[in-house]
Amino acid sequence: MILLRSIIYFFWFYGAMLFWGIGAMPLVLFDDRYIWVAMRGWGKAAIWGLRWICGIRISFEGLEHLPPKGPALFASKHQATLDTMLPVQFLDQPVFPVKYELTHAPVFGFYMKRMIPLKRETHAQALKSLVRGARAVIAKGRQILIYPEGTRQELNAPPDYKPGIAAMYRDLGLPVTPIALNTGLVWPPKGILRRPGHVTIKVLPAIPAGLPREEFMARLENVIESECQALLPPHLRRTSAP
């Protein structure tokens, strides 16, 4: 039954992407604010399908920790494709650093070109592109949401935080608002199975600007990993603190 529901959801999910993605394309060409109209509509359809097709409930917590509208920097755990859709439901106009390869995807790529595409294999050049792109986003009064580990991780994989977030933190001089989640409980990094359950995305208190790099990175990793562990059932938590 889980497999059948997952297959039905697969078609629902990508059908909704085509509906919103193609429908909003002409509007985006005239006003890029429609990027987030399309993303928000697709996300709402995805959440509806999770609830009624797969038996998955979504909760949002900690929204009182959101900074005022305008330029802001967020750092989130990344366990599933779903993680890119949920924050759009409570952020205004978030921009994501994305793999350059995604810009070539049908329909989806049209929108990814308007994010911050990075050729990660270029390393130092990618880091410069990240900082340059972040400056442009902040100058427009928008938010940046980065996944510090760079890619989706298995539910309890060891933390692997990359230096990109530290470079942005130092260059932009902004606080960083961490986001914890447990989407991996129902949506693994690979495959189409979507298991019934209840997942949470939780906004945490901001880390103030101006901390030394090592202190900032340690604090960011500790708060995200600790909160993500707390969102798991006890039998799935790591035996030692991150």
Each residue's pLDDT tens digit in the chain (242 positions)?
999 999 999 999 999 999 999 999 999 999 999 999 999 999 999 999 999 999 999 999 999 999 988 999 999 999 999 999 999 999 999 999 999 999 999 999 999 999 999 987 777 888 899 999 999 999 999 999 999 998 899 888 899 999 999 999 999 999 999 999 999 999 998 899 999 999 999 999 999 999 999 999 999 999 999 999 999 999 888 765 44
Which pLDDT does position 237 carry in this prediction?
Answer: 87
Q: Which residues pair with 140 in a beta bridge?
A: none
- pTM listed for this prediction: 0.94
Which pLDDT does position 239 carry in this prediction?
Answer: 66
Tell me which CATH code domain 58-236 carries.
3.40.1130.10
Which pLDDT does position 137 carry in this prediction?
Answer: 96
Nearest to 219 by CA among 159, 130, 144: 159
Which pLDDT does position 124 carry in this prediction?
Answer: 80
Q: Rounded distance, CA 238 to CA 242, Å?
A: 8
Which pLDDT does position 240 carry in this prediction?
Answer: 54
Which pLDDT does position 241 carry in this prediction?
Answer: 45
Residue 75 and residue 165 in contact, taking contact as beta carbons nearer than 8 Å: yes
Q: Where are the beta strands (DSSP E) in the chain?
A: 56-61, 72-76, 94-95, 97-99, 116-118, 143-146, 176-181, 197-203
Which pLDDT does position 242 carry in this prediction?
Answer: 45
The contacts of residue 2 (CB under 8 Å, 6+ apart) are 193, 194, 195, 196
Nearest to 65 by CA among 165, 242, 201: 201
Q: Rounded distance, CA 106 to CA 95, Å?
A: 19
DSSP designation for 85: T
| Coil, helix or strand at residue 119 | coil
Q: What is the DSSP string of 183-239?
A: GGGTS-SSSS----EEEEEEE-PPBPTT--HHHHHHHHHHHHHHHHHHTS-GGGS-S
Token pair belonging to 219: 């604090």
